Every structure is written in structure tokens, then in C-alpha cells.
Amino acid sequence: MKSDVKIKRGRSTGKGENIRKIMKCLCSGEKKAGDNMIPALKSPSAFENSGSGHSSRTGEIINKPEIGNIEEAESSLRESGCLNYEEARALLGRYEYQKGNIEAALHVFEGIDITAITSKIMISISRRGDRLRKRSQNFTAPPMSMHAVSLLLEAILLKAKSLEGLGRFGEAAQSCKVILDILESSFPEGLPENFGADCKLQETVTKAVELLPELWKLADASQEAILSYRRALLHQWNLDAETTARIQKEFAIFLLYSGSEACPPNLRSQMDSSFVPKNNIEEAILLFMILLRKVVLKRIDWDPSILDHLSFALIISGDTRALAGQIEELPPGILHRQELHHALALCYYGAGENLTALNLLRKVLGSHEDPKSLPALLMASKICGENCDLAEEGTSIAHRALQNLDRECDQLEGVANCLLGVSLSVYSKSATADSEKFTRQSEAIEALEAARKKTRMTDSNVLYHLSLEYANERKLDSALHYAKKCLKLEGGSNIKTWLLLARILSAQKRFADSESIINAALDQTGKWDQAELLQTKAKLLIAQDEFKGAIETYSQLLAFFQVQSKSFNLGDKKLLKSSRNYAGRLQLEVWHDLALVYIRLSQWHDAEACLSKSKAISSYSASRCHITGMLYEAKGLYKEALRGFMAALEIDPIHVPSLVSSAVVIRHLGHQSHPVIRSFLMDALRLDQTNHNAWYNLGLFYKSEGTKSSLGEALECFEAATFLEESAPVEPFR
């Protein structure tokens, strides 16, 4: 062989001569008699590249081959005195692969008979494992040296990578899988410690374990990828902490976003009390939590994307409280104090702990942190706007947000104005004077209109609240206009917009149109989200005196709750807590609505049965006590009815229907102009100015007084009652 390869000085002349003989044999194909050297290799490209010192692909002159190849060959020669056919191909294939000749490398690797050498490799590594475990020298020599095993397994890995480079992903995965099958069969309980540390074997194993699931993903074989990830994590491969963390992260990301549902893992060493994930999201959450725990224990470096993915997983599973716990356990310095408080506030708000979230935001907005933090200002205003007791603070915070914006961004200015409008609307309900209430309502409309202009009719939340505010003020045409715009903008994806539109139409006494809207919403909504729509549909049927249809709809709803309850019992109690509470509240309302239908039909026994079902759900309900009083009132038992209404007011002193009904029953008991009647009705109107029953009965009270001034007041009350009744929806807009 005419080669320019120069052996590094300092090596023995014998070793250098051996390498030259090997390279000569690889190129000439000669097999030296008596030495069991390698037979001829018939890869022209390989011969050309290894013999001439030139790359056939680029023409670049290779001054000398990889020193690692020579050292590998020398190691094999020291142990066995020769390279056999497969080892030579492995060495030559690696040489071609390192030069970038992937097709030539694959051609060389395909000449290796994997099936023929598998048993020898397994025997060799099994004996090596026994020697490591028992620390004894009395073992039969293995058929192959560990350097030869390492060389051949690396060849299988490089073959898989060559196939990957050529786009043959399924074949690449099958090739890579061979490595893990060999090792797992040889060591069912996992690789011994320090196994393959004295050669490249451990490096090859690590690369194969990481590569296999990626190849299955590229081959669009999701289930095989999932099984490969679990195999990588559940079997002992002697992986370092960073490698294991990378695999866990990639697996969790795949589970979370791939869209392929995995069957639950079968954990062989699982204890009875161990948590076993039931679906992709639970398994992904478990993996991300393990990674965060490793960060806390300083086993791996901090990776902010772990928290990002975990946040998404826990949010879609509805357990932001658990996310708060994970964030609180992070070591100091991982998150800035302001960022930490804001993240925790989001978590607690998602978990329904609004006051806790607000207190955290107040810390962010304190003088020692960032009093001008726009995200904190907007979120704090939103939380305050959902609570009558905090609406004044929400108004103040929204004004601060607008001041800090200073016309920098129309979209954010629109959001701030929307939050201001919502807070003012809620704040108006606590006003004692009519003028004050009117002023706040006008300011709310003004802020929402400003938000609409800033967002150019592109923010559905702004349009929804603007429609809602106009509806509450009985400006139904404007309310209908913005509700339709909002529905179109959302593409029918939001149930509350469908409901608002149907309620506005019902307030216009367009019951058939309203029912059509509900039916359209039912067609576009999943069965688990139809409860409120069905409840509204039943009330629309009642408004049209179609009691039979209403009862059938309520029966459908109750059957829905029964099926849902069974699914909750099978699910995670912690994750389904909010859904369970919502379903219980809605079920209570349905039994009460059904009881009212039976009362109107004078079916006392059926009404009592409904109230009994309601009591089994919640014995402490002002609404149930009120309907019990209505049942007695319908029977003409006014004293018993009054006791029911009083019981409701003991539970909830501001229960408006009970305030009105108490006044009505007292009048029926012969106290036409009793001051208590006026007190009850005025309290009801202070709480709800749109209650037409309260206005009507207040008119009757003034009429009973018989004075000229009281008759004038009675007329005003009757006019207000008529207007409000004509524009009353089948259920409250909000």
C-alpha cells in the first residue's frame, strides 16, 4: 500500500507495522496466510478513500486518518492479534462516516452480518458483566474483546445515523434498536456500574438510548417513540444526570404536544401506593416535576423552559394550585422577586384564591418593588372588578394603569379601559344614591366605548362587556349589535356569548329566535359543556308555556349530571374539584327550576320531590327555602310561606326574591300598608333596580296608602315595572 500515513513517533515499530499491514489488507483485499487476517472488502469508494488519502466527494486531501481509528485497531490487535471481517468493516465504515461519505459508509456497514455476531457480542458482554460483579479472574475468555464489541456496536449506531441522514427513519430506528435489545437481553436488571468505561461502549449506549425515540418520531411512529422513551428511563443504562434529564424533558414535551394518546406505563417495580399517570398530561406533569426536583437538589442546571412547559400542563389540567407549590419550592435566585410574586398570583387566581393573588400583586406594586408594573396593575384591576367590595380599588388601579401607559400602546390602553369600565359597572351597584349610581354607570359605558375604539372592534372581551352593560341598562338594540359582533369575532367558540345573545333576544320577547340561537350553540358545543345552554333552553320553553318540553329538557340535564358524576368519581378528585363544585351548583339550580315548573302546574307532590332532591345536595340553601315558601304560598298557606321566606333571609340577608316574596305575603296576611312591606321592597330595589316584581309590589303599597302623593308614586312604580317586565330576559344577563 502506497500511503502517506505517518505513525506518531514514540509508538513501537511493531505497532506501526501492524497498522500498515491492516490498511494494506483493507485496500488490496489480500489475506495473509496463517495469520487469519481480514478477507478482501469490495467497496470501491472505501478502497479509494482509505488508500489514496483523497475524499472522492470533495477532493480534499486527507493528510492522515483519525488517530482514534488507529488506536482502536491497535487495542484490538493487542487483545486478539488481528481484526476479523466484521471489525474491519466497522473500522472502515466509521472512517467513511467521519469523512461525510454517508452512502459509502452505509454500503460498508451493510456488509456486517449483525445476526451472526449478535450471540458472540452477548456472550462477551455477559462474561464481562459477571467479571465486574464477582471480581474474579477465573472466567473463560470471551469470544470477542470489549474493544471489538465496542467497535461493532458503534458500527450499528453509525449505520442507524447513516440511514437517518438518507431519510430512511424506520430502518434507522430498527438498526438502533438492535443495540438496546442486545444489552437488555444480556443485562435484564440493567448495566453494571463502570461497564464499558475503559472503551467507547458507554458512549455508544448513551447515544443509542437518546437517538432511538427521536428516530421513531421522525418515522411518525408515536407509540414506538413513547415505548422507547419509557425504556430509556425505566432500564438501567448508566446514563449521567444531564442525559437522563434531557430524555425526560423531550419525552414530557412529546407527551404534551404530540397529540398521540399513550397507554399508561406498566411499572414493574411499582409499589402499591405509587402514583401511576392515567394519561399523557399526567405523565408529562410527573416528568416535569421530577426535573424541577432535580433542579432544587442541584443535580441539573436550571432550565426555564421546564417551568414554562409545566405551567402549560398544569393550567390545561386545571390544577394551578399545584403549580404554585412547585414555584414556591424553587431555590432563591432562580426567579426575580417580582417575577416570582406575579407568577404565584397567576397560579392562585387560576385556583380561585383571588384574595391571595391580589395580596401578592399588592406586593409587586409596593414602593419597594415595581409600583408601575403594567401586568400587575392590569391583573389586580381585573381581580378587583370581580368583587363588589373591591370594585373601588379596581377603579383606582385601572386609572393608574392608564396613567402609566401614556398612550404608548392602543391595545393595552383598550384593555385598561375595559377593566376600568368593568370595575365602574360593579362599583355602581354599591352606590346608595341614584345620581351616584347613574354617574358610575355612565362612566362605565364611556370607558368601554373608549376600549372599543382603541381596539378597533378586534377584542371580543371588550365587545362582550360593552354588550352586557348596554343590556343591563335595557338598551337592547345596542346590546344585540355588540353581542352579534362578539359572537362573529369569536367564531362561536365562547358559550357565555351565545348565552348573552339568547338572553338579549328573550328580553326583546323574540323567544323563537332565542331558542334558535341556543340550538345553534348546542350543535357547536361538546356535550360536557351544554349544561348552561340546556338550562336556558328550558327557561325559554317555560316563557312560551311549553311546560312539557321544559320538563323533558330538565330531565335531560339531570341525566347529564348523573353521567358526569360517575366520570368525576373515576377521575382525580384534586384536579376535578372546581368542576365538581360547578356541577353541584348547577344541579341545585335545575332542581329548583323544576320545582317552580311543578308549582305552576299545581303538582305539589312533584315539587316537594324536587325540593327533597335539592336538600340532599345542599341543606343550607336560601333559594330552596324561598321555593319552599312559594310552594306554601301557592297552596294559600301564607304563614308557612312567610316562615320559608324568613328562613331564606336568615341564610342570605340580601336574597332579593325572598325580600320581595316576604313583602307580598305580609300584604296577603292583611297588612296592606305595613312599614315592613316598604322596607323589604326598598331593600330589594337597592340591591336590584331592574326587579320588576319589586317595583310592581311597591306600587301596590303606595296605592294602598290612598293619598294623592302616594298615588303619584304608585304610578311611577307601575310604569317602571311595566318597562322592566317588557324588557326582562328569561334569566339575568350577567
For the chain, list the domains and their CATH numbers.
76-128+144-239 (1.25.40.10), 526-568+578-619 (1.25.40), 621-733 (1.25.40.10)
Tally the residues of the chain.
734
Q: What is the pLDDT of residues 633-677, one digit of tens each?
A: 999 999 999 999 999 999 999 999 999 999 999 998 887 668 899
pLDDT of residue 23: 44
Cα–Cα distance measured from residue 563 to residue 528, given in angstroms and rounded to the nearest whole number:
10
Q: What is the mean pLDDT of residues 612-641?
A: 93
Mean of the per-residue pLDDT values of the chain: 84
Are the C-beta atoms of residues 669 and 689 closer than 8 Å to each other? no
- Say which residues have a Cβ less than 8 Å from residue 644's Cβ, sequence separation at least 6: 625, 626, 628, 629, 630, 631, 632
Cα–Cα distance measured from residue 458 to residue 712, given in angstroms and rounded to the nearest whole number:
48
Give the model's confidence band at 42: pLDDT under 50 very low, under 70 low, under 90 confident, else very high.
very low
pLDDT of residue 380: 95
Give the model's confidence band at 8: pLDDT under 50 very low, under 70 low, under 90 confident, else very high.
very low
Say if residue 428's pLDDT is above 80.
Answer: yes
pLDDT of residue 82: 58
Q: What is the pLDDT of residues 71-117, one digit of tens each?
A: 554 455 444 445 688 888 888 999 999 999 999 999 999 999 888 88
Give the model's confidence band at 189: pLDDT under 50 very low, under 70 low, under 90 confident, else very high.
confident
- Say which residues have a Cβ less than 8 Å from residue 504's Cβ, sequence separation at least 6: 467, 471, 476, 479, 480, 483, 729, 733
Q: What is the pLDDT of residues 454-492, one digit of tens each?
A: 999 999 999 999 999 999 999 999 999 999 999 999 999
Q: What is the pLDDT of residues 519-570, one digit of tens each?
A: 999 999 887 788 899 999 999 999 999 999 999 999 999 988 888 777 655 4
* Residue the block writes with cell 338598551: 475
If DSSP codes are grouped into helix, strand and coil, which group holds residue 660? helix
CA distances from 134 to 130, 186, 199 (A): 6, 16, 20
Cα–Cα distance measured from residue 417 to residue 204, given in angstroms and rounded to the nearest whole number:
61
Q: What is the mean pLDDT of residues 183-196?
A: 82
Residue 6 CA neighbour count, 13 Å, CB half: 4
Question: Most distant CA pair in the chain: distance in Å?
Answer: 135
- Say which residues have a Cβ less than 8 Å from residue 470's Cβ, sequence separation at least 6: 445, 476, 478, 479, 482
pLDDT of residue 100: 92
pLDDT of residue 11: 38
Are the C-beta atoms of residues 634 and 666 closer than 8 Å to each other? no
Q: Which three cell numbers stand for residue 186?
A: 444480556
Question: Who has greater pLDDT, 63 or 602?
Answer: 602
| Measured CA angle at 393 (ends 391, 394), to 5 deg | 60
Q: What is the pLDDT of residues 380-413, one digit of tens each?
A: 999 999 998 999 999 999 999 999 887 778 899 9
Cα–Cα distance measured from residue 324 to residue 308, given in angstroms and rounded to the nearest whole number:
13
Claim: this prediction has a pTM higher than 0.85: no
Are the C-beta atoms of residues 513 and 488 closer than 8 Å to each other? no
Are the C-beta atoms of residues 156 and 114 closer than 8 Å to each other? yes
Cα–Cα distance measured from residue 294 to residue 252, given in angstroms and rounded to the nearest whole number:
15
Q: Which three cell numbers stand for residue 705?
A: 296608602
Share of the chain above pLDDT 70, in %: 83
Are the C-beta atoms of residues 357 and 348 closer than 8 Å to each other? yes
Cα–Cα distance measured from residue 315 to residue 576, given in angstroms and rounded to the nearest whole number:
13
Give the model's confidence band at 65: pLDDT under 50 very low, under 70 low, under 90 confident, else very high.
very low
pLDDT of residue 514: 96
Give, as one character, the DSSP assignment of residue 331: P
pLDDT of residue 367: 76
Q: Which three cell numbers stand for residue 620?
A: 343550607
Q: What is the pLDDT of residues 291-343, one digit of tens each?
A: 999 998 889 999 999 999 999 998 888 888 888 998 998 888 888 888 899 99
Nearest to 317 by CA among 354, 273, 283, 267: 283
Q: Which three cell numbers stand for residue 160?
A: 442507524
Q: What is the pLDDT of residues 114-165, one digit of tens each?
A: 888 888 888 888 877 666 555 555 556 677 888 888 899 999 999 999 999 9
Are the C-beta atoms of residues 149 and 124 closer than 8 Å to each other? yes
Nearest to 292 by CA among 253, 330, 258, 319: 330
